[in-house]
Amino acid sequence: EPEVTQTPSHQVTQMGQEVILRCVPISNHLYFYWYRQILGQKVEFLVSFYNNEISEKSEIFDDQFSVERPDGSNFTLKIRSTKLEDSAMYFCASSESEGSNQPQHFGDGTRLSIL
Amino acid sequence: GESVGLHLPTLSVQEGDNSIINCAYSNSASDYFIWYKQESGKGPQFIIDIRSNMDKRQGQRVTVLLNKTVKHLSLQIAATQPGDSAVYFCAENRRGGGNKLTFGTGTQLKVEL
């Protein structure tokens, strides 16, 4: 069964450094998402991406965050200058069509630890 | 504020029994609901979904019930197995809400042998 893959599984970074989280969505999916989950809390939406542009973003997704689809298979999340509170699990998801019609399928996440 | 929430943080059941996990939502504009299972160290795994024009949907060993009158949905797992032990989240998408899923806080299901 096709799945969303994320790398790395764990990223440790010094505060203030840039970090790039990588995702390979399911190949025939057109909508891509990033969510985060702070330890012990619920999953929170960050951003959705379709047709090479952001379609929606949350208030968490400030100017320090950016997303990119650099080629036909990868989807990345960049945090420009990390803060301690960015420590969380970051999940990539994809869906075949828009979110109110098709389920989003998630990867196993990248655990980001900011020191 | 608008929210999707779960009634119980932890549910313990005996192996072989049926499990019922509940979820409440507050926004009447919510029109698409998904149940996810999250095992330790893994991402949310899709279980079953339901649209607001339905009140029941069945999958393999799972049933989702939607009561729009009281804004409540439930996930029923038949003959619960040890492999069902996980955190279960309901999530919703609302009309005009774009592609954003709003997740509930999760219920930990523990299956006792």
Domain boundaries, chain B: 4-112
B45 interfacial to chain A (CB closer than 8 Å): yes
- Percent with pLDDT over 90 in chain A: 83
Percent helix, strand, coil in chain A, to 5, is 5, 50, 50
Average pLDDT for chain A? 93
Residues of A in contact with B94 (CB under 8 A): 100
For residue B65 the two structure tokens come to: 């019930």
Q: Give me the pLDDT at residue A99, please.
A: 61
Which residue range forms the structural domain that includes residue A74?
5-114
Which position has the token pair 């990868």?
A: A74
CATH of the domain at A83: 2.60.40.10
Q: Check A56 against B93: CB less than 8 A apart.
A: no
Residues of B in contact with A58 (CB under 8 A): 100
Q: Check B42 against A55: CB less than 8 A apart.
A: no
Collect all residues with Cβ–Cβ distance below 8 Å to A99 and sequence separation of at least 6. A31, A33, A48, B32, B93, B98, B99, B100, B101
Residue B97 has pLDDT above 70, yes or no: no
Q: Give me the pLDDT at residue B2, please.
A: 44
The CATH architecture to which B4-112 belongs is: Sandwich (2.60)
pLDDT digits (tens, 9 = 90+) for A72-112: 789 999 999 999 999 999 999 999 887 667 899 999 999 99
Length of chain B measured in residues? 113
3-state secondary structure of A85: helix
Residue B1 pLDDT level (bands cut at 50, 70, 90): very low
Q: Give me the pLDDT at residue A72, please.
A: 79
Cα separation, B8 vs B92, whole angstroms: 18
Residue B3 has pLDDT above 70, yes or no: no
Which position has the token pair 């160290």?
A: B41
Q: Check B99 against A106: CB less than 8 A apart.
A: no
The distance of B32 to chain A (nearest Cα, Å) reads 6
Phi, psi of B81 (to 5 degrees): -115, 160
Say if CB B77 and CB B19 are below 8 A apart: yes
Q: Check B99 against A103: CB less than 8 A apart.
A: no
For residue A90 the two structure tokens come to: 């970051």
Q: Check B99 against A58: CB less than 8 A apart.
A: no
Instruction: Give the number of domains in chain A.
Output: 1
pLDDT digits (tens, 9 = 90+) for B12-68: 999 999 999 999 988 888 889 999 999 988 999 999 999 999 999 999 999 999 999
The distance of B82 to chain A (nearest Cα, Å) reads 21
Taking CA atoms, B107 is separated from A94, B38, B77, B79, in Å, by: 24, 10, 13, 18
Q: Which of A47-56, A90-99, B78-87 shows the lowest mean pLDDT across its residues?
A: A90-99
Task: Compute the average pLDDT of residues B71-92.
Answer: 96
A50 interfacial to chain B (CB closer than 8 Å): yes
Q: Which of A86-90, B102-106, B107-111 shows the lowest mean pLDDT across its residues?
A: B102-106
Residue A47 pLDDT level (bands cut at 50, 70, 90): very high
Taking CA atoms, A68 is separated from A16, A47, A54, A76, in Å, by: 21, 11, 9, 5
Taking CA atoms, A87 is separated from A12, A36, A69, A82, A83, in Å, by: 9, 9, 23, 9, 8
Cα separation, A27 vs A86, whole angstroms: 29
